[in-house]
Each structure stands twice: as C-alpha cells, then as structure tokens.
Structure 1
Amino acid sequence: MSGPAQQSAPTAQRPAGPQRRVTSLDVVRGLMLVVSVSVNSLLLTPAWFDHAEWAGVNGLDLVFPVFVALTGCGLGFAMHRRTDVRGLARRVFVLVAIGLLYNAVVLASWEPATWRFTGVLQLYAGVVVVIALGHLITRTARGWLVVTVVLALAHTAVLAAYATTCPGGALTRECNPSGAADTAVFGAAHVYWQGAAGHDPEGLVATLGACVSAAAGACVGHLLLTVRARGGGPRRAVGPVLAVCAAFAALAWLTATAPGLLAGVDVPVMKRLWTAPFALAVTAGTGLALLAGHLLLDSARTPAALRRAAWPLEALGRNSLLVYFGSHVVMSLLVQHADAEGRTLAQRIAAAVAVGGHEQVSFTVLVVLAWTALAAVLHHWRIYLRP
C-alpha cells in the first residue's frame, strides 16, 4: 500500500436525506477495493508484483494511486458547491492522529522516539487539504485541469532541479529530494525506514505527486457533474472525458521527456517519488474506467438486474475509506506474531479454511466476502465513514 479514513472525525454518519449520486464512482471504487483487499490478503507477495524498489512500476504500485485519484473525484463531487474550512481542519487533525496510531499498529512499535510521522494517512490528509483549499479557488473542470497542470509541472521542476545535483543527472535512492527534505523536516528517526532507505514513499515529495493524482481526479469529477447538469445522459460525457484523459496522457509524456530535453536529467516514471508522469498515466486510466462505469450504470436505461448485481460493489465503494485502510490494519495484525512452528495467524486461518488444498485462494475469498458483508450491512443502514 503503500497502505485508512474520511467528513468530520472519522465517525459513522447518517446522510441527512436522499441524494442523487453518481453510482459509477462507488462501483469503480468497489472494484478497486476488491483488488486492494485481495492484495492485502496475500500470504506471500511475488517479487514481480510487489512495490518496485525504485524506478519502474509493478502491480502493487497502482492500488493506492488509483484510490487517491478516485478520492479526488469524490472530493470534487462533495465540494462542488461549498468547502467547510472549519470542518476541514478537524478532519485533517483526526486523519493525522489516526495515521500515527495506524503506523504504530502496522509497524508494531509504540515508542514515541521512533514513531513514523509520515505515512499513508498523513499523505491522505495532505491531499484532502490541497483539494479542499483548491475548491476555494475553482469549482470547474477547466479550473481543475489548470490546477493539475500547475502541480504536475511544479513537481517535475522540483525533481528535475534536484537531479541536476546528482551524479549523471539521475535521481537515485541515495540522491533525491525526498530523503533530504523529509529527514530535515521530520528527523531521520521519524521517516520511512528511519531514513536508511534514502527516500520516503509517503513523505512531502510523494504527497505533492499524490496531489497531482487527486487534482486530475477532481477534474474528471467536475467534468462528469457539468455534463450531468446539462442533461442528455451519460453518452454526452464520452467526448469530454476522452479529451481530458488524452490531455493527461499528453502531459504525462511531456513531464517524462521535458527534463531530459531541457536539462539533460532523468525523472523516472515511478511510485516511490510519485512522479507526475506516473500520477497522470494512472489517473487517465482511472478516468476511462469511470467513463465506462458511467455509461453502464448512470443511465436511466440501466437494467435493474445490472444495478442489483453492482450493489455489493456500490456498498464497498460507499465505505471505501474503512475497507481500504481497515483491511491493511487487520492483515497487519494477523501477520505480526508467529506460533512455535513459525506460522502466523493469517497462515493458520488460511489452512483452516482451505478448500481443495488451495489455502491462498480460499483465504482471499473469505477476506473479500467478509469485508463485502460488512460494507453491505453498513450500506443497508446508511452508515458511512467519510474523510
């Protein structure tokens, strides 16, 4: 994951009244959560799928960025009319506090002197701040496209400028702005691997990259809302969404090639520094998935049978924060301690529920069904955990 939570403090809330939602957003989030929970349930992650050690992108590198892009879209829906600044401050405080607790649980370390101040929830809080404050400036798809371009160019400029100080003009684990900035701001004892990794995949530099993903997601969200407000059905969104996704792809190409052409430095496509080409490419793909879901599920002609079939995914999507981060916490607890034979609790459960000797498949199915059942119950009672 780089591996939880979302309105006021993360507490269960009941909506004040019925809302006309964009179902496709919830369903696509639900599909992403099925993948995320399945990945979390792996008793052994294959090297080819695990996070890339530095440059490049493996399968696991895509899960959290897709979540962030969808979060940006969701925040665009939620804040298209107003931004609650006072509530924002409270939410950010709670997210950061729970982030520290989350780190302590995942890392099995409760020593304040070595608590990791950076982390996924802290990164998530930073994204929420930027997108919320951005909605004080603009609430249009065009405005958020401009914000996306500015953030992408700024992030690329920071990386390219730092790369000019590195041997051969290449960012490496030993020479990059993340290691320098996060260690200086938070202290080596409070960052990823206590500074030994030379970078922090959820630190300040990565947070700026995550904001590129979220801003691009917000652009897609506002575009869908604008098209919807004008009427005419989901098909009218095809041209605009394809155009903005093409713009993201073009900007990804530009930010990947411009540093080499202009300054002779290399800014690789990667998750570890959440570079702009990576962020934009992932969000372009996410936008296309949202468009497909929009065409299938948000039409007045959508068959009732399809809506019923998508309901479990919608339930997952409505509590995406709880399921995404909750699954990480639970799995972390299940693998922390081993018995005398060296088997973790997760491995013992997998052996107990195995069907036909397929421990991993049986365990994954069990975990996905358990989180889906919880989300379905909460959705039935209209109880949601929000950012």
Structure 2
Amino acid sequence: MIQKRIESIDVLRGFVVVLSVFVSALPYGGYPLFRHAEWYGLTITDFIFPAFLTLFGVGLAIANFKGVNWKKLMRRTFLLLLFGLLFNMIVSWSIDIHNLRFTGVLQLFAIAGLFTILLTRLVTRIPYILLLSISISTLYLFFLIGTSQTCGGLIPQADCLASFKIDRFLFTDVHLYRAGSSGFDPEGFVNMISALTNVLAGYAIGLILIRKDINKKTMTLLLIGGLFILIGCVFSQWIDFNKRIWSPSFSLVTTGMTLFLLGCLYWLIDKKNFLTKQNPVVVYLTAFGKNSLLIYFGKLILLTFVSKITLNVIGMDSTIADVLHRFVPSKVGYAFLFVLFWSVVAIIMHLNKKYVKV
C-alpha cells in the first residue's frame, strides 16, 4: 500500500522550477553562475534540467508502482514528442517543417521516460536499478574516451564529437540544434541515453520512498546521493562536467546533488514535520511543483512571445520585452517580474486544484 503524498518531492520540484523561471528571464550579460557553462564547467543553471529529470524519475516510480498502463504510457510518449515539435516551432518562431528541429527537451523526457519504464520491467530490484544507472554513465565514459583520441587534449570538443555523427545520421543536420552549426546537440540521441542515469536513479529513489518495508529513508537518500557525487567527481578526472554533451561526471553529480537535497527536505517535511504543509514557503513551492510541466515550458513560450511580438508605443515599433525593460531596467528586477507573474498563476491554480499533466 502506498503511503500519503510525499510533500518534499513537490517542494523540491517547485524550487527547481522557480529557479528555472528566474534564470530563463534574466537578460544576457553578467551573472555567470546563472548562465550555462560555455562548454566544460558546472553552474547553478546547469543543475536545473538534470534535477528536473531526476525528479521526473521519482514521479515515474510512484505513478507506476502498481503496474504500468501501457496504453497511457504510449499516449504520454506520443504527446510529449508532438508537443516537443510544436514547442520547437514556437521558440524558433517558425513553422517551416523542412528546418524543424526534431530533438528537444520534451523529446528527451519522452524517450528517457519510455526507456526507463522498459528497463525497470527487466531490472526490478532497487540496488540493480541504481547499478544500471551508474553503469550507463560508465559505458558512456568509455565511449567518450575512446572516440576522442583525435580531439584536442584527447577530450570531447564542440567540433569533435562522435555522438554528433550519430545524431546527423538519425536526424540530418537541418533537424538538429541550431541546424547542426554548433557541432553538437544538447538533447541528441546519445545525450538522451546518458540522461537515463538521472531518470533511473530517480526511479530507484521513488521506489525507496513509497516502500513501507524500507527504514531510515533519509539516511538512504543521503548516502546514495553522496555516492553518486563521489563517483561523478572521480569520473570528472577523465571527462569534466559538461551539460552540452551530458558527460558522465555531469549526470552523476547532478543526480547526487538532487537526491541529497531531496533527502534533506524529506527529513524536514515528511519525517520530522519541521516544515508543515501549511508553511507559506512550502505552499508556495508546492504550487510550482504541482504545475511544474506547465510553468517549466510555459515560461519559455512566454519569453518567446514577449521578445517577438511588437507593439506601437509612442509612434515606435517595440517588442513587449523592450517595453518591459523601460519600466524595469534592472536585469534582476526584470527576471523577478516573470517570477511574480508565474507565482500568481501557480498559486491561483493550486488554490483551485487545477494542474496540467500529460
């Protein structure tokens, strides 16, 4: 029998989504910690998407604990792929299907989710699922090392990636990230496979949280999180943290960080009740967490609209973003303006128990 709803999952997911709204709306220039690393490196922004993926895995375990509804799973996979293509059209502001990017964040969710369910039908025990998660990163590390012998410094570079050749073969240049001009696709097929490390680990943790026969769950989450961080740091000695290629060190460390944070919140909220569900911060983050899909992707659509739609103001054509900048010249203030907008949306929908799911 599944226990009551685990509040800490919604709270952590909500924190990740609030952070994603802020960094996405922050205008370019300065604040390097709130930007993606150019190539190698790890910033706060780099942590957001893999954390969201890990929590996606946690949710998959809870949703499918009593068995998989295959019809619902295939419908969800199809819709995520379809919405991913529509999302790409909107953010690229083009309906030209001949140059439409086939890969993307929603597509990664669809494929990683489907593969996770298929794999966990074959590998059912929690320790083996965790081992499978680590094994995927280990095999990917060998792949990167083995295919980077001709790259500068013998490590993967933006213009020297074997994985991009696979993406080209599957999708062709014009249907990849920036039409393939960067030499890599951050949500390419090989990256989707590497991201299984995050989703599978999250799935294992989801099983731990809902199993009543497992004691000391907080300590278990902290130890597993610490183990993933340790292995990721060891792997970074060969291939450093790199979100663009979803390097093994990157996937393992971000997974570990997410699990460690979840363990801390689980202890505070679900175990000891130091933070109750009536706490204003908990309510606020839960509102974001329960509508995470809507806000996580809705924010990018909204930002696209305000940067593309023009208005005639004082006899001059200006984008909505330009108009907003005149009223809120501060970059941080501008970002918080969007946080405020989505806060109102999230709270109103939460109070009315309206949640968008696929």
Change (3 A) 1:318 1:173: same
Structure 2 partner of 1:110? 95
Is 1:177–1:205's contact at 8 Å kept on the other side of the alignment? no
**2:358 corresponds to 1:375:** no
Cα deviation, residue 72, structure 1: 1.4
1-structure distance, mates of 2:102, 2:277: 47
Cα deviation, residue 219, structure 1: 2.3
- Per-residue CA deviations over 1:317-367 (Å, capped at 9, x if unaligned) read 011111101111111111124568685312312434x4xxx5434433332
Runs of 5+ consecutive residues of structure 1 not aligned to the other structure: 1-17, 261-266
Partner-residue secondary structure (3-state), 1:198: coil
CA-atom RMSD in angstroms: 2.4
Is 2:17–2:289's contact at 8 Å kept on the other side of the alignment? yes
Is 2:7–2:277's contact at 8 Å kept on the other side of the alignment? no
2-structure distance, mates of 1:223, 1:351: 50
Counterpart among 311, 330, 351 of residue 326 in structure 2? 351
**2:268 corresponds to 1:296:** yes
Alignment of 1:138-217 (within 5 A): 138-166=123-151, 168-217=153-202
Deviates more, 1:291-300 or 1:39-48: 39-48
Counterpart among 19, 33, 43 of residue 35 in structure 1? 19
2-structure distance, mates of 1:346, 1:310: 31
2-structure distance, mates of 1:166, 1:293: 42
- Per-residue CA deviations over 1:9-45 (Å, capped at 9, x if unaligned) read xxxxxxxxx9821000000111111111111222325
Structure 2 partner of 1:46? 30
- Per-residue CA deviations over 1:162-208 (Å, capped at 9, x if unaligned) read 11343552211111123211111101111011111111011112212
1-structure distance, mates of 2:331, 2:201: 36
2-structure distance, mates of 1:199, 1:107: 18
Change (3 A) 1:309 1:173: closer
Cα deviation, residue 281, structure 1: 0.6
Is 2:57–2:199's contact at 8 Å kept on the other side of the alignment? yes
Identical positions, percent: 29
Cα deviation, residue 270, structure 1: 0.4
TM-score of the superposed pair, with normalisation by structure 1:
0.84
**2:91 corresponds to 1:91:** no
1-structure distance, mates of 2:221, 2:341: 35
Is 1:43–1:347's contact at 8 Å kept on the other side of the alignment? no
Partner-residue secondary structure (3-state), 2:246: coil
Deviates more, 1:127-136 or 1:107-116: 127-136
**Which amino acid counterpart does residue 115 of structure 1 have in structure 2?**
L
Partner-residue secondary structure (3-state), 1:385: coil
Structure 1 partner of 2:228? 248
Structure 2 partner of 1:66? 51
2-structure distance, mates of 1:59, 1:224: 26
**2:205 corresponds to 1:220:** yes
**Which amino acid counterpart does residue 304 of structure 2 have in structure 1?**
S
Counterpart among 272, 282, 286 of residue 310 in structure 1? 282
Is 1:297–1:307's contact at 8 Å kept on the other side of the alignment? no
**2:300 corresponds to 1:328:** yes
Runs of 5+ consecutive residues of structure 2 not aligned to the other structure: none
Cα deviation, residue 316, structure 1: 0.9
Structure 1 partner of 2:213? 230
2-structure distance, mates of 1:99, 1:27: 26
Is 2:3–2:210's contact at 8 Å kept on the other side of the alignment? no
Deviates more, 1:365-374 or 1:309-318: 365-374
**Which amino acid counterpart does residue 237 of structure 1 have in structure 2?**
K
Partner-residue secondary structure (3-state), 1:384: coil
2-structure distance, mates of 1:30, 1:143: 29
Is 2:8–2:262's contact at 8 Å kept on the other side of the alignment? yes
Change (3 A) 1:366 1:269: closer
Structure 2 partner of 1:13? none
Cα deviation, residue 294, structure 1: 0.8
1-structure distance, mates of 2:100, 2:273: 53
1-structure distance, mates of 2:247, 2:164: 15
Counterpart among 283, 287, 294 of residue 255 in structure 2? 283
Structure 2 partner of 1:263? none
Change (3 A) 1:193 1:308: closer
Partner-residue secondary structure (3-state), 1:152: helix
